[in-house]
Amino acid sequence: MAKKKKRNGGSYNVITTCISTTLVLILLGAAIFFVTMARNFSNQVRSEMPIAVLLKDSIPAQTLKSLQAELKAKPYVQEIKYISKEEGAKEIYASMDLNPGEFISDNPILAELELRLKGEYTTKDFINKITPEIKKNPYVADVHYPIEEIDNLNYLIPIIGTILLSVAGLLAFITFALIHNTMRMSIYSRRFLIHSMRLVGARWSFIRRPFMKQAFGIGFISATLANGALYAGIWYLSQTDSYMAQLLTNEVTIFTMGSVLVCGLVLTLLCAFFSVNHYLRMRSNDLFLK
């Protein structure tokens, strides 16, 4: 009867440790998720910055097609769109709430190629680097891009990224501390068994082995449960918000869940290792105090 009660108590400790570790890993996984989402959001905002390649009226149709094909083939170009003089004029009239008949008879608007670069290439330095190359074409009148918006992005995004990484690092530290405390409390009830095995001459590695195996199991189960909860949250976001669905790539999901699994296994194993060592080094008299 006493043996059954002891076994049930050990099972209870394992269950409570799994629950505590799962909750902590969900918190850490949420932080990792938002850090990776912030990177995707940054690239998304950058890729929406248009670069206008203004074309001279004298450009031949064949040259226009060649220029489009040449720019589209560049590794940094995500999308290219041709806007004719008429379409450009309509956009300007609409934005200024003007009637085309009230304006001058000749259309002063130049046709243009609107480029959207891949997010990682939309920086002021890179655009300044490729602008002279584009301007070499004799039929290109000028290249315009929203320099102020890009400057603001280049200033704000590193700051936001640093803040998110700092928060993630702080949560990782808190996660380690909480899991370590949880594992230590779980091993605390068996400190006398550890001491007895040490007295009969068992090696430290032999004493640690069952605790490490149990910690691996707890880490794997907790990480699996945490990933299940995180996946449910990610799926819900993708179904309820179309913009979030664009940012929720497979890479974000895989990286988040992979990180939670690795952290769950590594942290529980490390915490079990240090906790067992703590009681292995403890003197007999101290076992009744700590």
- What does the mean pLDDT of the chain come to? 80
Mean pLDDT over 142-147 rounds to 83
- Domain containing 106 equals 50-145
Q: Cα–Cα distance between 194 and 209 in angstroms, integer? A: 11
Are residues 182 and 137 part of one domain?
Answer: no
- Give the total number of structural domains in the chain: 2
Mean pLDDT over 201-230 rounds to 88
% pLDDT > 90, the chain: 9
19-38 residue pLDDT tens = 888 888 898 888 888 888 88
Are residues 236 and 134 part of one domain?
Answer: no
Q: What is the pLDDT of residue 34?
A: 85
Has residue 285 got a pLDDT over 80? no
Assign 4 a pLDDT band (cuts: 50, 70, 90): very low
- Pick the residue with more confidence: 90 or 228? 228
Q: Cα–Cα distance between 235 and 233 in angstroms, integer? A: 5
Has residue 256 got a pLDDT over 70? yes
Environment class of 264 (CB within 10 Å of its CB; exposed 0-12, middle 13-18, buried 19+):
buried
88-97 residue pLDDT tens = 777 766 766 6
Q: What is the pLDDT of residue 204?
A: 80
46-81 residue pLDDT tens = 777 888 888 888 888 888 888 888 888 888 888 888
Q: 33, 256 in Cβ contact below 8 A? A: yes
- Pick the residue with more confidence: 285 or 26? 26
Has residue 3 got a pLDDT over 50? no
- CA-only gyration radius of the chain, Å: 31
Helix axes 2-47 and 250-281, enclosed angle (nearest 10): 140
Domain-terminating residue out of 92, 127, 145: 145
Q: Cα–Cα distance between 90 and 35 in angstroms, integer? A: 41
Sole residue written with tokens 């009830």: 189
Are residues 226 and 90 part of one domain?
Answer: no
Per-residue b/e over 63-74, b at no fewer than 16 CB within 10 Å? Answer: eeeebeeebeeb
Q: What is the pTM of this model?
A: 0.67
Assign 261 a pLDDT band (cuts: 50, 70, 90): very high
Are residues 254 and 215 part of one domain?
Answer: yes
Are residues 160 and 37 part of one domain?
Answer: yes
131: three-class secondary structure by DSSP:
helix
Has residue 9 got a pLDDT over 60? no
Q: What is the pLDDT of residue 2?
A: 44
Q: Torsions phi, psi of 282, nearest 5? A: -75, 140
Sole residue written with tokens 């200033």: 155
Domain-terminating residue out of 100, 123, 145: 145
% pLDDT > 70, the chain: 88
Within 10 angstroms of residue 155's Cβ, the number of other Cβ atoms is 9
Are residues 193 and 110 part of one domain?
Answer: no
Sole residue written with tokens 């009681």: 279
Q: What is the pLDDT of residue 260?
A: 92
Q: What is the pLDDT of residue 281?
A: 76
Lookup: tokens for 119:
């997010």
DSSP 73: T
Q: What is the pLDDT of residue 239?
A: 87
Are residues 37 and 170 part of one domain?
Answer: yes
Domain with 126 in it: what CATH number? 3.30.70.3040
- Pick the residue with more confidence: 226 or 96? 226
